[in-house]
């Protein structure tokens, strides 16, 4: 039985005050929620703040990126151990905005996933095809390549801690959601690929989230699919009531 994960990626939004105000409003809204892992991914400066404000409330905190080295002369970068030290438990890795704007490659993503696991954090490994790739019929080829490359050199059972997020690039921030059917067929393909890597028992333990214009109106239909184990939510995670409505999809 896989516990669903609903994670909110705040991207480069919210001041410290706005982050604290979000948490204050959000906590009572989700106080009774059971059987869902809730994760908030604020910008780096507010990781410790959000972790301390949510301590003991069964809400995990994620960084939106990390460097793959444990420490070093890498000006402007943050290591997995530093993220852990301020109370975060997850790290989003390989988000399409990082691949697109910050030259992340399958190789750097793989190094980061390994570093995050080594630090004792849970990586949320993002992957997904662009519109051009989908239209060229390359969705499975791209998603499969990104999954295998991101997990290169990682074995089960450690690997089963990884949370995979399928995020078709054409659905991120565009208001265009993949249909539940489109998402499910890619999720089933990803699970089959995981089974080829690690065996079906391990593949069945991995949570595969969908991301791309998830909102309160479409979450239930997405979650009704066998291989969709939660959501990575961008825009709709910025307002407490909207994100709480997604968390309470059942």
For ligand PEP, the binding residues (CB under 6 A) are 9, 167, 172-173, 211-214, 232-236
| Annotated catalytic residue, options 37, 67, 95, 97 | 95
d(CA 22, CA 241): 9
Q: Tell me whether residue 167 is one of the annotated catalytic residues.
A: yes
d(CA 244, CA 227): 22
- What H or E segment, with its residue span, contains residue 243? helix 240-247
Least Å from the CB of residue 2 to ligand PEP: 20
Least Å from the CB of residue 128 to ligand PEP: 9
| Angle 226-63-154 from CA coordinates, rounded to 5° | 60
The radius of gyration computed from the CA coordinates of the chain, to the nearest angstrom, equals: 17
Q: Closest CB to ligand PEP among 47 and 203?
A: 47
Q: Closest CB to ligand PEP among 198 and 207?
A: 207
Q: Closest CB to ligand PEP among 58 and 176?
A: 176
Half-sphere exposure of 169 (CA within 13 A, CB side): 20
Q: Closest CB to ligand PEP among 42 and 211?
A: 211
d(CA 15, CA 135): 39
| DSSP at 24 | H
Residue nearest to ligand PEP (CB): 234
| Nearest one of 56, 48, 60 to 91, comparing CA atoms | 60
Which are the contacts of 95, defined by CB distance < 8 A and separation ≥ 6?
A: 9, 64, 65, 126, 167
| Annotated catalytic residue, options 104, 129, 167, 187 | 167
SS3 223: helix
Least Å from the CB of residue 31 to ligand PEP: 24
Q: Tell me whether residue 67 is one of the annotated catalytic residues.
A: no
Least Å from the CB of residue 196 to ligand PEP: 26
Task: Tokens 């290591």: give the residue.
Answer: 79
Least Å from the CB of residue 226 to ligand PEP: 21
Q: What are phi and psi of 177, to 5 degrees?
A: -90, 145
Residues involved in catalysis: 95, 167
């Amino acid at each position: 039985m896989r516990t669903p994960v609903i994670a909110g990626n705040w991207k480069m939004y919210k001041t410290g005050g706005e982050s604290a105000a979000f948490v204050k409003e959000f906590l009572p809204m989700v106080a009774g929620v059971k059987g869902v892992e809730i994760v908030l991914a604020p910008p780096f400066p507010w990781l410790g703040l959000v972790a301390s404000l949510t301590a003991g409330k069964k809400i995990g905190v994620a960084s939106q990126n990390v460097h793959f080295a444990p420490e070093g002369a890498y000006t402007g970068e943050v290591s997995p151990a530093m993220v852990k030290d301020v109370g975060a438990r997850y790290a989003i890795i390989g988000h399409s905005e990082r691949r697109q704007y910050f030259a992340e490659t399958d190789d750097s993503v793989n190094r980061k996933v390994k570093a995050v696991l080594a630090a004792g954090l849970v990586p949320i490994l993002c992957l997904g095809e662009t519109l051009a790739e989908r239209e060229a019929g390359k969705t499975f080829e791209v998603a499969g390549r990104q999954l295998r490359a991101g997990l290169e050199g990682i074995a089960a059972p450690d690997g089963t801690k990884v949370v995979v997020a399928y995020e078709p690039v054409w659905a991120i921030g565009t208001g265009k959601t993949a249909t539940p059917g489109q998402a499910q067929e890619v999720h089933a393909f990803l699970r089959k690929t995981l089974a080829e890597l690690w065996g079906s028992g391990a593949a069945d333990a991995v949570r595969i989230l969908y991301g791309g214009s998830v909102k309160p109106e479409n979450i239930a239909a997405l979650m009704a699919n066998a291989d969709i184990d939660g959501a990575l939510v961008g825009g709709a995670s910025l307002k407490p009531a909207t994100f709480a409505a997604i968390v309470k999809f059942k």
